[in-house]
């Protein structure tokens, strides 16, 4: 009996397609697994960090607001303190110059001499230029000016009370040079009799300029403090974001 050779089985196209589809679907599943296993992108973490819906984002926003308000309040306080310091310095400076001039022997002798203006006007102008003040006025017990930065004002009566003050006084008043911090000191002879007054003034605009010279330092310090605090706040919020797994 003869043996017939066996014919190879025909492969159906449908079966090949099924194998291919299963192979392709397996690859797709592997690709999806590979995509899911990739670490989160930095942009996604930043969006989570700055998103106000997350706990870390809310904490970051709250801390930034607190830091900005704190730095702004500190800056305002420093500016006001700088202005107060400048005003205090102007008061002390004008008072020191007025007392020194009023107590100088040459001042009293010139005020009681025949021509006080001829002696005192060059002296007061030199003092004004050397010290940087805006006003050095010497006037009689009746309020008549012996000296003034504007020569046209010499011989005129001062607008305020003419009587020499019993004690040195410093006020912020309107003058011919504008609103000024003025210190007034009485000048007395050897017997203690008042022979006139010495007034030294610094304008408020110059006082404000003295304060504004400190503004770059104050602004730089505030900007540095804000940058340091903001950087620390971001680092804390990023740590919180990791610990809360992006909540």
In a structure prediction context, what are the per-residue pLDDT tens digits for the chain, which is 247 residues long?
444 555 545 444 444 444 444 444 445 444 444 444 444 444 444 444 444 455 656 666 777 777 777 777 777 777 777 777 778 888 999 999 999 999 998 999 999 999 999 999 999 999 999 999 999 999 999 999 999 999 999 999 998 888 999 999 999 999 988 889 999 999 999 888 999 999 999 998 887 766 566 667 667 776 777 777 667 766 766 666 666 555 5
| CA–CA dist 33, 212 (Å, integer) | 64
| Model pLDDT, residue 43 | 46
Residues with Cβ within 8 Å of 64's Cβ and at least 6 positions away in sequence, in order, are 230, 233
Residues with Cβ within 8 Å of 60's Cβ and at least 6 positions away in sequence, in order, are 49, 50, 233, 234, 237
Report helix, strand or coil for 115.
coil
| Model pLDDT, residue 59 | 66
| CA–CA dist 17, 21 (Å, integer) | 6
| Model pLDDT, residue 197 | 96
| Model pLDDT, residue 16 | 46
For the purposes of burial, counting CB atoms within 10 Å of the CB of 164, is it exposed (0-12), middle (13-18) or buried (19 or more)? Answer: buried
| Model pLDDT, residue 154 | 95
Please state, in angstroms and as integers, the Cα–Cα distance from residue 139 to each residue in 4, 127, 163, 179, following that order: 147, 16, 10, 19
| CA–CA dist 158, 175 (Å, integer) | 9
Residue 139's nearest CA partner among 114, 123, 120 is 120
The residues facing 187 across adjacent strands are 196
| Model pLDDT, residue 215 | 66
The model's pTM is 0.60
């Amino acid at each position: 009996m003869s043996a017939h050779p066996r014919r190879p089985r025909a492969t159906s196209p449908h079966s090949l397609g099924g194998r291919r589809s299963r192979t392709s679907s397996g690859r797709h599943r592997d690709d999806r697994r590979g995509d899911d296993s990739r670490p989160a992108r930095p942009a996604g973490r930043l969006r989570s960090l700055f998103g106000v819906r997350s706990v870390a984002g809310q904490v970051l926003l709250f801390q930034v607001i607190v830091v900005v308000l704190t730095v702004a309040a500190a800056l305002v306080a420093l500016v006001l303190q700088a202005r107060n310091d400048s005003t205090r310095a102007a008061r002390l400076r004008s008072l020191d110059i007025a007392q020194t001039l009023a107590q100088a022997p040459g001042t009293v002798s010139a005020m009681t001499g025949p021509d006080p203006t001829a002696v005192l006007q060059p002296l007061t102008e030199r003092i004004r230029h050397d010290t940087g003040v805006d006003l050095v006025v010497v006037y009689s017990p009746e309020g008549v000016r012996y000296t003034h930065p504007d020569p046209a004002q010499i011989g005129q009566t001062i607008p305020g009370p003419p009587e020499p003050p019993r004690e040195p006084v410093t006020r912020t008043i309107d003058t011919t040079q504008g609103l000024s911090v003025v210190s007034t000191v009485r000048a007395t002879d050897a017997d203690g009799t008042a022979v006139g007054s010495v007034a030294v003034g610094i304008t408020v605009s110059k006082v404000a300029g003295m304060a504004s010279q400190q503004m770059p330092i104050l602004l730089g310090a505030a900007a540095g403090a804000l940058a340091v605090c903001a950087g620390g706040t971001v680092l804390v919020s990023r740590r919180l974001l990791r610990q809360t797994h992006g909540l």
